[in-house]
Amino acid sequence: MKYAWIIACREFTENARTKGFWIGLFLFPAILFLSIQVPVFLQKKAMPTRHFLMVDQSESLAPVISAHLDNLHQKRVLQELIEHARSGLMDPGRSELLRTFSNTDPRALELFRTQGGKTAFLEKLKPGLKPGTPEFVEPKPIFQMMSLPSDVPSQGDLAVISEKLRPYLKGDKKLNHQGQKRDLHAAILVPKNYSGAVLRPGAAMDPGQPQSGIEYWSKNLADTKLREEMEKAVNAEIRRTEYLARGMDSAQVLKIEQTRLLVTSLNPSKQQGDEKVNSGDVMKQWAPTAMVYVLWIAVFSIIQMLLNNTVEEKSNRIVEVLLSSVTPNELMLGKLLGIGAVGLTMIGSWIVALFAILSWVPGAGQIGPRILDIARTSPLLPAFVIYFFLGYFMYAALILALGSLCNTIKDAQNYMGVILMILMVPIFTMTFIPRDPNGAVASFLSWIPLWTPFIMLNRINADPPLFDLVGTMILLLLSVAGFLWLSARVFRHGVLRTGQPPRIMELFRLLTKSSKG
């Protein structure tokens, strides 16, 4: 055992000195930080304002669409103001403004506008701000309606108008706006009589009416946001006119449509009097999925490191020198412990970075405390550590046996593909398991040792049956012991093997021989 510890220290030191180790150590925190900040930056800074034109020959829909897009912008302003308030208030928990507007009720936007909008909000906010809080910067609008160019008519055949707009839509011509050239993102053409294209349940289209409704022209087929918002506004207006045509008060209908019954989610597993479900409870249910992904990356990265290390030492004949001083079992155990320690160091740094970034990065500060609370009150972290070690030792045993039989990385990759296919199953089921954590599929997969660490970790916060929890753990421990036992014998026979890697039947005979030896 003494020599195994010496080899473990050597493996840890050798791998900790490599560039790959340090890249892996800092790459995950960097990716996590960028994954939070880059979308925010792109949304606020890099996303350009989409300029569009509208030809409304009906003279009824343009104001409706314009008002809807303005509401959309004001909603973004309100969201940005709430974030600004949370980051700048001395005591966010006591702010009446946040309690009034920080909800998803559509009436919040109406209240925001009737009380004076951005100006009034900032005036009420100012007394409670911390000294040195930066000024609020209003987000730029996502969409902006432009005036028609002088060479494009507003009346006449829409086919002629669209042909005149084609050079602008293709980018051959630019729009003039306040002395600057602007690209045209889209054009919306509304015919004078669009009612013939209105689809009503149970009613056939009128053959005497035009069949083409609103025309939406744009060469950007990926960004459909403008079209979706335009359709919402237009369809809401169509329904309003239908209400009026039937003698109904559209304002009253709108109030009725906004009437809701409060539905409260309750969890029977929580203590009496505290059964109400909050966002932290939902996050707790899905937190294991994120940990499964981290576990998968960790196991895959470390066994890949172990494979490269074993094959490299074998191809360079370093292993022959080592075996002159230690036994194959000591060498194998030292590699398992040393590279396992490297992996544990990486994972520990990732978890610390995760909590630090979520607590520090603006916009993620509300998530950090909840995740810390989940880590403190749930068995997720202890289960992660246990399943990491068991999963690592099981797959590391397979990799050591594989690496001992191969002389080059190219040979090893052929077998590695099979292991990768096995490892992909937890990824494919990663989001399904939390939706039915104690169902037949989750229970069945939990009893397959190669997948047990991932599946059971994904179920751990859903109170799996004690039989599954204890039974799969016993089976996993026995499987890990069996894998290590077989791997040790394959490693002993294969580590000094040269030439081509064994074929499937030869490998099977070697395993059979090893299990009898």
Lookup: tokens for 387:
């399943």
The label of the residue with tokens 């509208």 reads: 54
Q: Cα(293)–Cα(430) distance, rounded to whole angstroms?
A: 8
In terms of domains, do 408 and 494 share one?
yes
Quick check: 128 and 89 in contact, CB under 8 A?
yes
Domain count within the chain: 2
Question: What CA–CA distances, in Å, run from 190 to 155, 159, 219, 373, 413?
Answer: 11, 12, 18, 54, 60
- The verdict on residue 45 lying in a domain is no
417 — pLDDT class (breaks 50, 70, 90): confident
pLDDT of residue 447: 95
pLDDT > 70? residue 385: yes
Q: Does residue 77 belong to any structural domain of this protein?
A: yes
Residues, the chain = 517
Residues 6+ apart with CB under 8 A from 436: 442
Q: CB under 8 Å to 329, separation ≥6 — which residues?
A: 488, 492
Beta bridge partners of 175: 182
**Does residue 517 have a pLDDT over 50?**
no
**What is the DSSP code (8-state) at residue 181?**
E
- Helix boundaries (H) for 204-317: 225-245, 250-257, 279-315
400 falls within a domain: yes
Task: Kindly report, residue by residue over 202-251, the tens digit of the pLDDT.
Answer: 666 555 554 568 899 998 888 889 999 999 999 988 888 888 888 888 77
Task: Give the pLDDT confidence score for residue 156 in this predicted structure.
Answer: 87
- Picking from 388, 214, 377, 216, the residue whose alpha carbon sits closest to that of residue 291 is 388
Tokens at 98, concatenated: 């946040």
Whether residues 114 and 243 fall in one domain: yes
Residue 433 and residue 350 in one domain:
yes
| pLDDT higher than threshold 50 for residue 71 | yes
Same domain, 309 and 180: no
**Same-domain status, 363 and 493:** yes
* Any domain includes 132: yes
Instruction: Please indicate, yes or no, whether residues 243 and 302 belong to a single structural domain of this protein.
Output: no
Which H helix or E strand runs over 417?
helix 409-428
Q: How confident is the model at residue 66 (pLDDT cuts 50, 70, 90)?
A: very high
> What angle (nearest 5°) sits at the alpha carbon of residue 118, between those of residues 113 and 119?
110
Please state, in angstroms and rounded to a whole number, the distance separating the CA atoms of residues 90 and 25.
Answer: 36
pLDDT digits (tens, 9 = 90+) for 440-468: 888 999 999 999 999 999 888 888 899 99
307 vs 406: CA distance, rounded Å: 10
**Distance of alpha carbon 80 from alpha carbon 82, whole angstroms:** 5
Indicate if 363 and 498 belong to the same structural domain.
yes
How does pLDDT run across 73-108, given as a tens digit for each residue? 998 888 888 877 877 776 665 566 666 666 555 677
- Is 498 part of any domain? yes
pLDDT (tens digit per residue) in 264-299: 777 776 777 776 766 667 777 777 888 888 888 888
C-alpha distance from residue 290 to each of 71, 313, 393, 496 (Å) = 36, 35, 21, 41
| pLDDT for the residue numbered 452 | 93
State pTM to two decimals: 0.64
Model confidence at 197, pLDDT cuts 50, 70, 90, reads confident
- Co-location of 119 and 28 in the same domain: no
Residues 15 and 139 occupy one common structural domain: no
Angle made by CA atoms 334, 336, 339, in degrees to the nearest 5: 95
- CA nearest 412: which of 317, 306, 341? 306
Is 268 inside a domain boundary? no
169 versus 91: which is more confidently predicted?
A: 169
If asked whether residues 499 and 437 sit together in one domain, one would say yes
Same domain, 16 and 116: no
Is 355:32 a contact under the CB 8 Å cutoff?
no
Q: Indicate the pLDDT class of residue 143, thresholds 50, 70 and 90.
A: very high
Q: What residues make up the domain containing 363?
A: 2-34+279-516
Residue 345 burial (CB < 10 Å; 0-12/13-18/19+)? middle
pLDDT band at 127 (very low <50, low <70, confident <90, very high): confident
Q: Which pLDDT score, from 0 to 100, does residue 473 have? A: 94
Is 237 domain-assigned? yes
Domain stop point among 254, 269, 292: 254
Average pLDDT over residues 128-157: 87
* Mean pLDDT computed over 104-127: 79
Residue type, 84: H
Question: Could you tell me the pLDDT band of residue 185, with boundaries at 50, 70 and 90?
Answer: very high
28 and 89 assigned to the same domain: no
First-last CA distance in the chain: 22
Helix H segments across 89-154?
96-101, 107-114, 117-125
Cα 227 to chain centroid distance, Å, stands at: 26
Asked if 143 contacts 49 with a C-beta cutoff of 8 angstroms, the reply is yes
Residue 86 within any structural domain of the chain: yes
